């Protein structure tokens, strides 16, 4: 645990000392703000709940992109610069390495996601919004960030370059998002399996509408667990290859 926190602390400092973390957060806040004004608020009168729902709809996209951009460097960059040797030659387990990296990325992502809270808060000025709706939406966004960050951590662990890591993350994430398209043409019982894996359509829409379903929470946490475990196993196996 101590090794994990040390790695997380250093990585967090790495984000703060580089332009990359600030640039990604700034870009996400800018795009979120523009989309909130243009799409969620728009020119047509709407119910406040609909405004919030649309806010969480496009925030899904920006959160996914930010998660990929912030995690693709995690391990791949250390491998490129050779600093991975520091951890490899230390009495720190691979799960501590992966956990530390993931924790730092999640801290930045959570800060970024929660920094958008002023937008739904603005709706209070002229509308009426349920706190529960906002809470559910942010829970969903954080779970999406956590799942995609886990995928990004895995992709970074298996890749030699950050670009390859980013590409791998995109491929896995997009595959999970478009599962609902595949489910449309699949036959039972495969359709149930494919439909269940659909990251956005099956498991995120509920959060957008202000619902927190245990099934959805378990799904996102499962993705986190599976990809972090795979990343950890891959890092451990490198010593034997």
206 binds another protein (CB under 8 A): no
> What distance in Å separates the CA atoms of residue 241 and residue 237, rounded to the nearest whole number?
7
Name the minimum Å distance from CB 10 to another protein. Answer: 6
CB of 95 to another protein, least distance (A): 12
Nearer to another protein, 88 or 201 (CB): 88
Judged by CB, which is closer to another protein: 79, or 133? 79
Question: Does the protein bind another protein through residue 83 (CB under 8 A)?
Answer: yes
Q: Which of residues 7-36 bind another protein (CB under 8 A)?
A: 7, 9-10, 13-14, 17-18
Q: Which of 1, 45, 125, 239 binds another protein (CB under 8 A)?
A: 239
Q: Does 82 bind another protein (CB under 8 A)?
A: yes
Instruction: Count CA within 13 A, CB hemisphere, residue 167.
Output: 6
Binding site residues, another protein, CB under 8 A: 2-3, 6-7, 9-10, 13-14, 17-18, 81-93, 239-241
């Amino acid at each position: 645990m101590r090794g994990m926190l040390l790695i997380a602390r250093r990585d967090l400092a790495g984000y703060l000392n580089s332009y990359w973390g600030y640039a990604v957060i700034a870009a996400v806040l800018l795009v979120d703000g523009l989309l909130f004004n243009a799409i969620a608020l728009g020119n047509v009168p709407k119910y406040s709940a609909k405004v919030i729902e649309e806010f969480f709809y496009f925030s899904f996209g920006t959160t996914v992109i930010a998660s990929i951009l912030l995690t693709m460097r995690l391990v791949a960059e250390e491998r490129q610069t050779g600093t991975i040797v520091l951890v490899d030659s230390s009495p720190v387990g691979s799960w501590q390495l992966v956990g530390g990296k993931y924790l730092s990325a999640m801290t930045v992502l959570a800060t970024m996601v929660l920094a958008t809270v002023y937008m739904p808060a603005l709706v209070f000025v002229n509308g009426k919004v349920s706190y529960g709706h906002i809470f559910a939406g942010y829970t969903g966004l954080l779970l999406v960030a956590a799942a995609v960050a886990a995928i990004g951590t895995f992709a970074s662990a298996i890749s030699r370059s950050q670009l390859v890591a980013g590409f791998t993350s995109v491929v896995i994430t997009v595959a999970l998002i478009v599962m609902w398209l595949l489910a449309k043409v699949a036959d039972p019982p495969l359709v149930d399996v494919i439909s269940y894996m659909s990251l956005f359509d099956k498991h995120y829409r509920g959060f957008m509408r202000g619902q927190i379903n245990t099934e959805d929470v378990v799904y996102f946490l499962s993705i986190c667990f599976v990809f972090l475990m795979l990343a950890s196993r891959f890092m451990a196996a490198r010593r034997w290859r």
